[in-house]
Structure 1
Amino acid sequence: MDIFTEYFFQRALIGGLLIGFIAPLMGVFLVLRRLSMIGDTLAHVSIAGVALGFLINVYPVGVGLVFALLASFAIEKLRKAYKTYAELSIAIIMSGGVALATFLFTIGKGFNINVMSYFFGSIYTLDNTDLWVVAGVSVIVSVAVFVNYKEMFLLFFDEDAAGVSGLPLRFYNILITMLTALVISVAIKIVGALLVSSLLTIPVACSLLVARSFKHSIFWAILFSELAVVMGLVSAGVWDLAPGATVVLVLIALLIGILFVKRGLRH
């Protein structure tokens, strides 16, 4: 296909594959910890950072990344304050992110079209700077998970036992939220803020239907994610479709297919 020879598509494919790897990698931990909605929260805060970046003429993805990291600290602070109602922290930060983004939209009316592209994704506009940022975040997230795999596994399956064993719970909670913030902030330009949580959760939902262990769930989640990225981007490129939305629809189709196959095997 001629589309594979186009530089914009090659950059889109590389960026998509990198996000397709690290998003479900973090998503497995978030889903098992029942923190699936944190992706939407950090995405909305990142959009506020992107809007500010356009307003002050600073690299938007970089400002969005800073905002997402600050929001990750705020979430952990609020989770500690509302231990019995930990989900309140996510709702509060999301509300603040949406309010701040809306406020910045009203100030900088001239760049609203540019900011809106981050809501729905603009993977075909990735430049070399974007790719280097995505690659850097991918390395940081992958190394952090690999080095701290045992501790994160214990934390997510039995936090009380992890605390008794001397594991610094606060450090690992902040680490996981920060890593998620990094993934979200670089993914919004690829799939868009409205769809970014899909890459965190739907591949994991697929993997939980077929995996027989925690390691297998990580493997299958990444495999389903990468498969959807390739199929979605190629389909979008050939038939001139919205790439981010096409990737998510492929993921949903995979999930429905797996559910039907499992139902058929039971009968």
Structure 2
Amino acid sequence: MLSYAFMQRALLVGLMLSIIIPMIGIVMINRRTSMIGDALSHSSLAGVALGLIIGINPIFTSVLICIIASFAIELIRKKFNSFGDMATAIIMSLGIGLAAIMSDFTPGGTSFESFLFGSITSVSKEDLIIVSVIFLLVLLFSLYLYYPLLYNSISPLMARLSGVNSKLVSSIFTFLTAITVAISAKTVGALMISSLMVLPVASSLMISKSYKETFIKSIIIAIIYMMLGISASFYLGIKPGGAIVVIAVIGMVLSLIIQKFKKMG
């Protein structure tokens, strides 16, 4: 498996994504906004279609569309405070609607389809470089803003009282979420990203006693899910996104069983 260059690239990209996706996921779950990942993943497809139509790397257009979509969600949530879920639903519907229309104009249906469920063979050297740059950016900001993000996700009021610039931290997190979702589509699949944001964190929550422990374990668990999923994709000839999510669900069930045994002990 490792003798193939495309597999080396896929595993490297998978490793980087499995580290930063749970970092975003744990904050989203704390903020109770995990459905935003779904809205952005659907919006990323519109960006993919746009990139394929105009003939540039779809990751660039996907990043752009995801950034616009994520800030649009935040704007609608602020304007209609009582209808936060409505903002997510509006952007998700618009994103999937635009993607459906533009997909008819994309050259070669397979290229677009590979972004739906992920593809290990389509990860290029250029993709690896883009993911590496964004990985470092998300990693550095997530670690630097570890406590501000934690305080802000639990209670924005408490964060402000602690001296945290809530608006700035929220804006940075929104930006990081958007670019993480956008770069994940090619390997994980746009329809699977939100699952990978939630499932490792959910598995970790069942076997952890603190936020820090959950944070660390969710990354370790995500790496395991990702590596097993990509390997299964190679050996069984199945879509990586589907393989990762199925393995993640099995892992979550095992975490639940471990939790039950711990309570019994």
TM-score (norm 2): 0.95
Amino acid at match of 1:181: A
| 8 Å contact from structure 1 (residues 155, 162) kept in 2 | yes
Q: What is the deviation of 1:8?
A: 1.1
Q: Residue in 1 aligned with 2:144?
A: 147
1:236-247 → structure 2 map (5 Å cutoff) = 236-247=233-244
Return closer, same or farther for 1:227/1:33 CA change in 2, 3 Å cut-off. same
**How much does 1:109 deviate?**
5.2
Inter-partner Cα distance in structure 2 for 1:200 and 1:123: 19
Conserved? CA contact 1:19–1:187, under 8 Å: yes
Match of 2:131 in 1: 134
* Whole-angstrom CA distance in 1 between matches of 2:106 and 2:58: 16
User: Does the C-alpha gap of structure 1 residues 161 and 265 become closer, same or farther in structure 2, counting only changes over 3 Å?
Assistant: closer
2:83 is paired with a residue whose SS is coil
* Structure 1 counterpart of 2:85: 87
**How far apart in 2 are the matches of 1:113 and 1:32?**
37
How far, CA to CA, are the matches of 2:90 and 2:57 in structure 1?
Answer: 27
Q: How far apart are the structure 1 equivalents of 2:154 and 2:61?
A: 34
The CA distance in 1 between the partners of 2:102 and 2:256, in whole Å, is 43
Letter aligned with residue 216 of structure 1: E
Inter-partner Cα distance in structure 2 for 1:208 and 1:36? 15
Distance 1:109 1:156, change over 3 A: closer
1:132-181 Cα shifts (integer Å, max 9, x gaps): 11111110001111221221111111211123344322222121111011
Distance in structure 2 (CA, Å) of the matches to 1:17 and 1:194: 19
1:255 aligns with 2:252: yes
User: Deviation digits for residues 179-225 of structure 1, max 9, x if unmatched?
Assistant: 01111000010111111111100000011011111111110000000
For 1:111 and 1:54, locate their aligned partners in 2 and report how far apart those are by CA, in whole Å.
9
| Counterpart mapping for 1:41-120 below 5 A | 41-106=39-104, 108=105, 110-120=107-117
Mark the CA change 1:257 to 1:160 in structure 2 (over 3 Å): closer, same or farther: same
Q: Which residue does the alignment assign to 2:226?
A: 229
Q: Distance in 1 between matches of 2:64 and 2:106?
A: 23
Match of 2:13 in 1: 15
> Is the deviation greater in 91-100 or in 168-177?
168-177
Q: Does 1:179 align with 2:172?
A: no
Give the Cα separation in 1 of the matches to 2:121 and 2:107.
22
Q: 1:236 deviation in Å?
A: 2.4
Identity of aligned residues (%): 31
Distance in 2 (CA, whole Å) between partners of 1:6 and 1:199 is 25
Q: CA–CA distance in 1 between the matches of 2:109 and 2:49?
A: 8
Per the TM alignment, residue 19 of structure 1 is displaced from its structure 2 partner at its CA by: 0.5
Which structure 2 residue ranges, 5 or more long, are not aligned? none
* RMSD after superposition: 1.4
After TM superposition, which residue ranges in structure 1, 4 or more long, deviate above 6 angstroms?
none
2:26 corresponds to: 28
The alignment partner of 1:5 has SS state of: coil
Contact 1:69-1:178 within 8 A present in 2 as well = yes
Separation in 2 of the partners of 1:72 and 1:168? 19
Q: Is 2:154 the partner of 1:157?
A: yes
- Give yes or no for contact 1:28–1:201 (8 Å, CA) kept in 2: yes
Q: Residue 117 of structure 1 contacts residue 189 of structure 1 at CA under 8 Å; is this kept in 2? A: yes
Distance 1:261 1:167, change over 3 A: closer
Q: Specify whether residues 212 and 265 from structure 1 end up closer, same or farther in structure 2 by C-alpha distance, changes over 3 A only.
A: closer
In the alignment, structure 1 segments of 5+ residues that lack a partner are none
TM-score by length of 1: 0.95
